[in-house]
Amino acid sequence: MRKNGVRFSIASHAAWAPGVDTPDAWKEWAKAPFPFAGDAEPAVAAMPPMLRRRAGSLGKMALEVAYQCLDGRTNIPTVFCSRHGEVTRAIDLLTELVQEQSLSPTGFGLAVHNASAGLFSIARKDQANHIALAAGNSTIEHGVIEACGLLADGEPMVLLVAYDQPLPELMKQFQDVDEQPYAWAWLMTPAQDDVIQLRCESVTDRQEDSLDAESVADAGAMTSGLQIWRFECGAQSKLIRLTGKRRWIWSRDV
């Protein structure tokens, strides 16, 4: 990434979480974030039923916002980014292995990290490039860099889909933030109006000591995807996230 970071604009966006599925509801959440309640799933009405039934709750959230954000557009590259992906399906498969049961090929195919992206392209008969990635607590930042790389190569638009859900009980000991189920999507374009900039700075040990207060506040906060979505909703003009030895700086130039 260049020293001055990447810059882009957002042509449209969409978001979904249990109990928060309208623009007004998200505005209220952004003012004072609250935990999502319930186990509702989106309808994903735009997807053919046979394919929709294959998606789990995580996949349905990702697919719902992807359909909403593209609104019928085709031949647009997509970047699906999720820190954990279909980890619940993976745990189920590993459990079946331990119990010496036969594994379902369909179950395996839907547990891989690009499962939602694959279902999306199949359902839409869309042969545009799609990418699925995970990069720990910096997953979305790397997704944005990937999308901006496609824009720099000449793509007029790129769809970014961010989605995650809490880890299954077996993995809860590894959960390091307040995980909640959510999905959101941005239809990204080269920087035009209402520009968002993302920069990355290295943090030395000495600098890290001076940023203790900020670091502690960030470490126990909501999951990164919701931090970034709240920033995009306009709750903040600037967002600084510390992840290891990196400081990610999100800013808005209206």
Query: What's residue 3's pLDDT?
Result: 64
Tens of pLDDT along 144-167? 999 999 999 999 999 999 999 988
Q: Which domain holds residue 71?
A: 6-192
Choose between 174 and 70: higher pLDDT: 70
201 token code pair: 């700075």
For residue 145, tell me if it sits in a domain: yes
Tell me which of 33-47, 76-90, 91-105 is least confident. 91-105
Q: What is the Cα–Cα distance from 254 to 242, expressed in whole angstroms?
A: 24
User: What strands, in cross-sheet order, belong to the sheet with 6-16?
Assistant: 130-133, 78-81, 158-164, 182-190, 6-16, 195-202, 246-253, 238-243
Residue 42 confidence class, pLDDT cut points 50, 70, 90: very high
pLDDT(65) > 80: yes
CB 158 within 8 A of CB 145: no
For residue 94, tell me if it sits in a domain: yes
pLDDT(213) > 60: no
Please count the structural domains in the chain: 1
Strands (E) in the chain, as ranges, are 6-16, 78-81, 130-133, 158-164, 182-190, 195-202, 238-243, 246-253
For residue 121, tell me if it sits in a domain: yes
For residue 198, tell me if it sits in a domain: no
CATH number of the domain to which 102 belongs: 3.40.47.10
Cross-strand partners of 14? 185
